[in-house]
Structures are given as structure tokens and as C-alpha cells.
Amino acid sequence: MNDAQITEYLRSRSRVAPPPSLAGSIMAAVDTAPTLRSWFASLVPAVAAVAVAVAVLMLAFVIGRGPQVGPGPTDSDQPAPSASIVPSASPSDAGPPLSLLRPGDVAEIPATDATGEWGTIRIERMEDIGGYSDAPIAEDVGLSGEFFVIEFFVSYTAERMPDPAQFGSLDWSLRPIDPNAEHFFVTEAKSFERVGGLGIRPDDALPVFPGAIDIFTTPTEGTIAFQVSRREANLDLELVYARTTPQVAIPARIAGPAPEPVPVATPTPGTAAPGYVTVEGLPFPVLDSVDADALFTQPDQCTNPEDGYTVTFPDDWYTNTETGGVPACSWFTPDFFEVSAPGVAPDDIWIFIGVVEGQVGYTSNTPFYLSEAVTVDGRAGRRTEYNPNPNAKPDYRGYDYVIPLGQDGPTLVTSTNSDVASDYALAKAVLDRIMATFTFGD
Amino acid sequence: MAETETEGRPLEIVSRAQARDRDAFEQLVEDHATEVYRLAASIVGAADAGDVTQDTFVAAWQQLPRLRDATRFRAWLRQICVNRARNWLRSAARRGVPVGLDTQDFLADRTDFRRVVEARTVIEPAFERLNADQRAILALHYSMGYSIAEAADALRVPVGTAKSRLNAALNVLRDAVAEPERSKAEASS
């Protein structure tokens, strides 16, 4: 491989034609995008009241781009909004800008649909929290300590049925005020659910109301929670109500330190999920399986020399030797198998173990049937069972352990699923026991 | 005429767009969408280029009144695109690999990477392992053919910094491409 081939490849990356509809879709997005205007002027009286240090900070924002690292809390009781360019915080030009910057702040805005206002929404800012000790954030496996949560309590008061009727958590998102923020992101509200007997807070989560309810008598309120990366704590954030055009955006957080992470409790025998049992000598509950227990009566052992780990596995089972760059001790299956192409796993493999670069997460709409913290040989991780595409494959189940080996990776991933394992229940139970006896090399 | 036009369009079009003239902005979209799309594709790949292009123009529409020098519209748009593309990559890295979708395939990908010697198959995974800044400088200079000065402007870094980044990124790519070849040579010896 030479430089000419590399540069030719790089040139080829730009030899693409945009879809014919591109300009149209851009203009459609432009038409629904909020128009930005400065609200700095309207804040001048408040700015005058704050400490000199804050004024200096604001000057920095006015002169140029805000600092990459947030200023942290000020000594003043008065929140110090940075002078970023933000969408209007008020649904109309009348009245002072709305603010949800401090816990306890309340904002009221019209609930809207395609034909106009259908009611009122009251939003109360809650405290930022570092996580939920009894219910780890499920969407970003193994990374719950890297996130904090911003909560709002939302109440809808209806004057008529909205059209379309559906409303609730889907109305809300959180984003940086500065659209050029280096870590720009848009976070959708989480409509957490109780899944598989595992509590996912907040218990009073605002649902998506289907519309087939008596909106005038059914309480339509609840908490919306936003999971925000700690590295984005240095951004000014705004809460966006997306049901109106232009969207209503309310300043919701000033850049500053995130709350300390809340340790997620390691499962104990008393809190084992249904179907899991405590086995003497194993560090965490495993799926109850007489067959799996029998397989581990006199287990075999193998070591992955590249990634340095050692596992025990059923003596009757088979694992791989190094093949095509795949280290030994990466694949496990009860049936004898042959590798027809180096590095390519045969269809017979039930369980995969691998170390991958970077962090590993799940798509936010992944339904979880199990999601719990586990500690594997002293390293915190998560065990999950999920279906990534319930519409296409409703019966599919995947079962993973994901163990971060560093803040930004690599990550140990061990996995089985109902497609590859003809006895999926046994595969899960065996994987549990493999991971319960897993040891990392130094 | 650099004083009165920006890439063939009268500056008046940009000025009208700055004054929130939607039709004028639509003309700018038609003029520049293909270039922005190709730049986005060079950095994030064709699959996500449409989203990045759309983000770029939405941001441009929102911020256009703040553009002080209308003659710099094209370069300014390029800056927004690069910034959006880098954010896109960082966001994707933060989201991580959706193992819920493709654990098995992902683990297998690593093996494919090591065993396949066909040029594109080797270089593409290596390119995708580069960080956002490395991808951006390679895309600007090699994929899009911008000069070092133009690339530096798009990245908002000095020319010297752009040169050193380009050299470093190329070396990283060379090393990444060489790795599977070394493995293959070792395996066959």
C-alpha cells in the first residue's frame, strides 16, 4: 500500500453526488429552524446586579466565543446567563424572558398544536442529579458515571384536545444554547419505563399520552429527565418545546460543574433479577440453570494472549485458537467447529468475547429486558438483555456484558444472542458463568 | 470580481439572505449544497453526509446575520461544515458502537480488517479510526483539493498547524494501513 493509493482513496471520498432532494430537505429544515436573536439586551438590568467577576466573564462571551471550560457557580445568588445568542425564551415578545436556570424556577408556556394553543404547560426546574443509585442509566452501558441528569416537572392543563392527540415526553429536548458548541448535541427527554422488574427512575416520568384519554380528568404531568454527558456541563443549555414554530427555548442551565456521580449499587443476592441466583464462589448472581451448573463442574480454561484475559468455560465446549487476527479464546460453542476463512466466525459460535476500541453504547430506543450493574474481576460494567430492532425481529434477544477498560475505551464486550445460539437460555447461563470466573491479566 | 461577488453569485444575494430573504438563501443552498455535501462526505462518509449538510445550512441560516464579510460566505460555510462534521464524529464516538445492533458483526469487522488486502477495504477502516481533526485535514486537502491555506482557514488554525496536522494524520493513516500488511507478512513467513 503506497501513498498514491492512499491519496487516491482520499480523493474518492469526495466523488459522491448529493441526492436530488437535498436542497429541498435543507430548505424544509431551514423553514422549521428557530431564528436566533440576541437576548443579551433584555438582560442588562440583571447583569448590572451581579458581581464584577461575572461581568468580566460575560465580557469574555461578548468579545468572543465562550470558554471551553465553564465558569462554575458564582458567588452571587443571581444566575449569570452568558451572553450567547439564543432563541427567544419567551413565546411572545411581551413579558420578561422565561428562565429555568435555578432549581425551583417555574415557567409557563402555551401548549400548541398545528391549529394553535390547546392549553398551558407549567414547567418547574428540579435539581441536577448525578444519577440514580438504584436504577443506572440504561442507554449508555457502563458510562453512567460519565453522565448527570437534568430534571423538570411538567404539567399540562388542557382547554381542548390537541391535534394530533399525542403529547408528553416527546415534546421536549435539551440542547446547547450555542449551536456552534464544540460538543453540540440534542438530547431527547427520556420516558423511562420499568423493564423486566428493574426500576428505571424517575418513577413519575412523564409518559407519551396517547390522546385516547380523558384529558380533562386524567392527570397529565410528570418528570422529564435528560441524560447529559459530563463533558457538556461546560455548556449553557436550553430546554426546547418542539411543538411550536418557532420552537420555544428556555434557558435551563448555566455552564458549571456537574453534580457528583451517584454510585450505582452493585447487585446483591437480595436484589437479583428474576431468574438469577446466587452461586457460592461467584461474585454476582447468574441465571439459574442446572445444565449450566453441570457444564462447569470441571471447567476448562483458556487465555487470550493479546488482550490478556483468562476465562473458564465448559469442558465439553470448544474455543478457537488464533485465526486471521482473532486472538485465541474469543469464540465459544458446544459443537466442534472448523474455521473455513481465517478470522471469520463460523455460524456455530454461540458466545463471542472481544476487546473493541472506544466506548460502547446502545441506541437510545433499544428496549431492555435486563440492564444491571455487574463487577467483573474488579471492573464495573453492565449486563444487559435487549432487542435492538423490535419492529423487525420482535423475538430477537441479545445478551451482553460490556466492561469499560478505560474512560474512552477500549471496552470488553462479551455477547450471545438468540440468532446464534440454538439454546439461547443455556448460552446466557454459560456466559454468566464465564464472566463470573473471568480474570483480567495485568 | 472578488469585491462584488462570492463564487459567481452577486454579493447582493448573500446580503439579501442575511436580511432573512428566504429565496436568496435558497439560491445559496443550490449553489453550495453539492460542495458542502462532498466535504461532509469526505469527513463523515456518504451515509451521514446529508445530515451534516442539512445541519450546516440550518446553522448558516441562523447565523448569517452575524457574518460580517459577505465575500467570505463560501469559506465561512466551509468552516461551519467542518465544525459540524467534527461534532458529528465526536458525537458518534460518544454514542459508541451500537452493540445492541451489531455486536457480532463488529467483532467480526476487526478480523476482516486484518485479513483483507484489497486497497479500499484496508484504507477505509484505517481512515475511520482517525480522530475528527485528522479526518478533517485529510478530507480538506486531499479529498476536496483545497490548498493548505484554505484548509487552515476552514479549521481556523494557522497554516503551520495545518501542515503539521496533515503530516501527522497522513503518518497515522500510513501506519494503520501498514499494520494488516505486516500481520499478513508475519503470518506467511
Nearest to B88 by CA among A15, A359, A186, A138: A186
Using CB atoms, which residue from A5, A26, A324 is nearest to B33? A26
Record: contact B29-A29, CB cut-off 8 A: no
Contacts of B138 in chain A (CB under 8 A): 10
Say how many C-beta atoms besides its own lie within 10 A of residue A325's C-beta: 19
pLDDT of A186 higher than 70: no
Residue A384 has a pLDDT of 83
B123 contacts chain A (CB < 8 A): yes
Average pLDDT, chain A: 72
Say how many C-beta atoms besides its own lie within 10 A of residue A365's C-beta: 11
Contacts of B99 in chain A (CB under 8 A): 141, 360-362, 398, 400, 402, 413, 415
Integer Cα distance of A21 and B85 in angstroms: 20
- The residue ranking higher by pLDDT, B42 or A247, is B42
The average pLDDT across A246-255 equals: 88
Using CB atoms, which residue from B53, B90, B139 is nearest to A13? B139
Integer Cα distance of B57 and A349 in angstroms: 47
Q: Using CA coordinates, name the residue in chain B closest to A20.
A: B34
Residue A53 has a pLDDT of 21
The sign of the dihedral angle between the CA atoms of B69, B75, B80, B86 is: negative
The DSSP bridge partners found for residue A332 are A319, A351
The pLDDT tens digits for A123-182 are 999 999 887 665 544 443 334 446 788 889 899 888 888 877 778 877 888 888 877 666
Record: contact A400-B99, CB cut-off 8 A: yes
Q: Is the CB of residue B153 less than 8 Å from the CB of residue B140?
A: no
Residue type, A172: W
Residue B2 has a pLDDT of 37
Burial class (CB in 10 A: 0-12, 13-18, 19+), A319: buried
- From the candidates A2, A8, A9, A304, which should be mutated to test the interface with B, based on the most B CB atoms within 10 A? A9
- The residue ranking higher by pLDDT, A208 or B62, is B62
Lowest mean pLDDT: which of A31-45, A356-370, B6-20?
Answer: A31-45
How far is the CA of B5 from the CAs of A174, B10, B68, B117, B149, in angstroms?
Answer: 39, 4, 15, 48, 21
Grid cell listed for B41: 462526505
Using CB atoms, which residue from A7, A182, A357 is nearest to B142? A7
The pLDDT tens digits for A51-87 are 222 222 222 222 222 222 222 233 333 333 333 333 3
B189 contacts chain A (CB < 8 A): no
Integer Cα distance of B80 and B74 in angstroms: 10
Using CB atoms, which residue from B25, B119, B127 is nearest to A1? B119
Record: contact A26-B29, CB cut-off 8 A: yes
Integer Cα distance of A286 and A425 in angstroms: 12
The SS3 assignment for A10 reads helix
- Degrees (nearest 5) of the Cα angle A187, A361, B113? 130
Compute chain A's Rg from CA coordinates: 26
Record: contact B62-A179, CB cut-off 8 A: yes
The pLDDT tens digits for B58-104 are 888 887 877 778 888 898 899 889 988 887 776 665 444 333 323 33
How many Cβ pairs within 8 Å bridge chains A and B? 210
pLDDT of A271 higher than 60: no
- From the candidates A26, A137, A139, A235, which should be mutated to test the interface with B, based on the most B CB atoms within 10 A? A26
Integer Cα distance of B68 and A249 in angstroms: 26
Nearest to A168 by CA among A111, A115, A129, A229: A111
Residue A66 has a pLDDT of 27
Integer Cα distance of B66 and B52 in angstroms: 21
- From the candidates B20, B31, B39, B62, which should be mutated to test the interface with A, based on the most A CB atoms within 10 A? B62
Residue B92 has a pLDDT of 62
Q: Give me the percent of chain A exceeding a pLDDT of 90.
A: 21
Grid cell listed for A327: 486472538
Record: contact B104-A11, CB cut-off 8 A: no
Query: φ, ψ for residue A218 (rounded to 5)?
Result: -85, 130
Contacts of A25 in chain B (CB under 8 A): 50, 54
Nearest to A268 by CA among A286, A284, A256: A284
DSSP state letters, B40-101: HHHHH-HHHHHHHHHHHHHHHHHHGGG-S-GGGHHHHHHHHHHHHHHHHHHHHHHH-EEHHH
Record: contact A13-B143, CB cut-off 8 A: yes
The pLDDT tens digits for A367-405 are 667 777 788 998 888 888 877 666 567 788 889 898 888
Residue A45 has a pLDDT of 26
Record: contact A23-B30, CB cut-off 8 A: yes
The SS3 assignment for B181 reads helix
Q: Is the CB of residue A225 less than 8 Å from the CB of residue B131?
A: no
Residue B128 has a pLDDT of 82
pLDDT of A2 higher than 50: yes
Burial class (CB in 10 A: 0-12, 13-18, 19+), A441: exposed
The average pLDDT across A187-199 equals: 39
How are the residues of chain B apportioned to helix, strand and coil, as percentages rounded to the nearest 5?
80, 5, 15
Using CB atoms, which residue from B30, B34, B103 is nearest to A400? B103
Record: contact A22-B53, CB cut-off 8 A: yes
Contacts of B119 in chain A (CB under 8 A): 1, 5, 9
- Residues of chain B below pLDDT 70: 1-10, 90-121, 179-189
Q: Using CA coordinates, name the residue in chain A closest to B118.
A: A1
Lowest mean pLDDT: which of A109-113, A201-205, A358-362?
Answer: A201-205
Record: contact A356-B106, CB cut-off 8 A: yes
